[in-house]
Amino acid sequence: MKLLRFGPKGHEKPGLLDADGVIRDLSAHIDDLHGHHLGQGSLAELARLDPARLPEVPADTRLGPCVGRVGKFICIGLNYSDHAAETGAEVPPEPVVFNKWTSAICGPNDDVIIPRGSQKTDWEVELGVVIGKRARYVEEANAIEHVAGYCVVNDVSEREFQLERSGTWDKGKGCDTFGPLGPWLVTTDEVPDPHDLAMWLEVDGHRYQDGSTRTMVYRIPFLVSYLSRFMTLEPGDVISTGTPPGVGMGQKPPVYLKSGQQMRLGVEGLGTQTQHVVADPATPPEA
């Protein structure tokens, strides 16, 4: 299944994409697409529904992030051997783990906002893993049983904040709108091999990233098992698994995002995102 969320920001409803590419409304069956509904039993119930009997949603309806109420948004750094090489870094002996704040999450086609003072906002197409079953000290052999599905993630990053301002990477990774998720969550039965998916990203029509999950160093079963040693993974948590080469920081000379540009990115079988890049508004929104 291709599951999704649609509607205005903060008021999204659950839906699915039928075989003809039509969005269907699931809100008569579940209240939202969040952790409680991502277990194998719940997904099996949704799979038994006849999409043709579900209400049709207009094609121009906004898509929200494909998972609601995300508890943890965990990212893996330098997890593609060719990306590590372009940044001049060595492949780490254990996964590099950092966080994106859940306030960074936005819809797959929402605007990406360049933070105030930013000169080095960058892009990273990534494969996202959505947890469907609680995982604590799970064995690698059983780890995929804890995965509900996969999605596209743009791990938008401010490189100066991340690398030149001391401390951890997190301050350059979790700015508002730096975590577009979707367009849909594709359940594991539709992705036979998540380690053999083409992935790409373009800025204003120029393709910068053109890679594959084949060059992922630490693969998904290992990552789920590894992370579950240090934290309990809960249904609805998202793991972003790293990016292939072609990021702006790796260009010679480096290239960074500017207001007015457009990003398009996708992962094979998981859909496409399109984001306009905008400057942070001069006046902050009222609380």
Which residues on adjacent β-strands are paired with residue 25? 15
Question: In the prediction, which pLDDT does 84 show?
Answer: 75
Q: How far does CA 270 lie from the centroid of its chain? A: 11
**For residue 281, pLDDT beyond 90:** no
- Give the pLDDT mean for 259-287: 89
Name the helix (H) or strand (E) containing 154. Answer: strand 147-154
**For residue 89, pLDDT beyond 90:** no
**For residue 287, pLDDT beyond 70:** no
Find tokens 């948004």 and name the residue.
73
| Residue 3 is assigned to a structural domain of this protein | no
Name the helix (H) or strand (E) containing 267. Answer: strand 262-267
- The string of pLDDT tens digits covering residues 214-237 is 999 999 999 999 999 999 999 999
| Residue 180 is assigned to a structural domain of this protein | yes
- Give the pLDDT mean for 158-179: 94
Q: What is the CATH number of the domain that holds 195?
A: 3.90.850.10
Number of domains in the chain: 1
| Residue 223 is assigned to a structural domain of this protein | yes
Name the pLDDT band for 99 (thresholds 50, 70, 90).
very high
Whole-angstrom distance, CA of residue 132 vs CA of residue 115: 33
Question: In the prediction, which pLDDT does 285 show?
Answer: 55
| Residue 164 is assigned to a structural domain of this protein | yes
| Residue 255 is assigned to a structural domain of this protein | yes
- The string of pLDDT tens digits covering residues 25-60 is 999 999 999 999 999 999 999 999 999 999 999 999
**For residue 286, pLDDT beyond 70:** no
Find tokens 């060595």 and name the residue.
90
| Residue 2 is assigned to a structural domain of this protein | no
Whole-angstrom distance, CA of residue 269 vs CA of residue 31: 26
Bridge-based pairing state of the strands 262-267 and 238-240: unpaired
Peptide bond before residue 65 is cis, with ω within 30 degrees of 0 = no
Question: In the prediction, which pLDDT does 166 show?
Answer: 87
| Residue 47 is assigned to a structural domain of this protein | no
| Of the candidates 77, 83, 80, 123, the residue with the CA atom closest to the CA atom of residue 97 | 77
Mean pLDDT (the chain) is 96
Question: In the prediction, which pLDDT does 87 show?
Answer: 74
- Give the pLDDT mean for 62-69: 98
**For residue 81, pLDDT beyond 90:** no
| Residue 170 is assigned to a structural domain of this protein | yes
Structural domain boundaries enclosing 222:
65-279
Whole-angstrom distance, CA of residue 84 vs CA of residue 38: 33
**For residue 157, pLDDT beyond 60:** yes
DSSP state of 252: S
Bridge-based pairing state of the strands 2-6 and 105-106: unpaired
Question: In the prediction, which pLDDT does 284 show?
Answer: 59
Whole-angstrom distance, CA of residue 228 vs CA of residue 216: 19
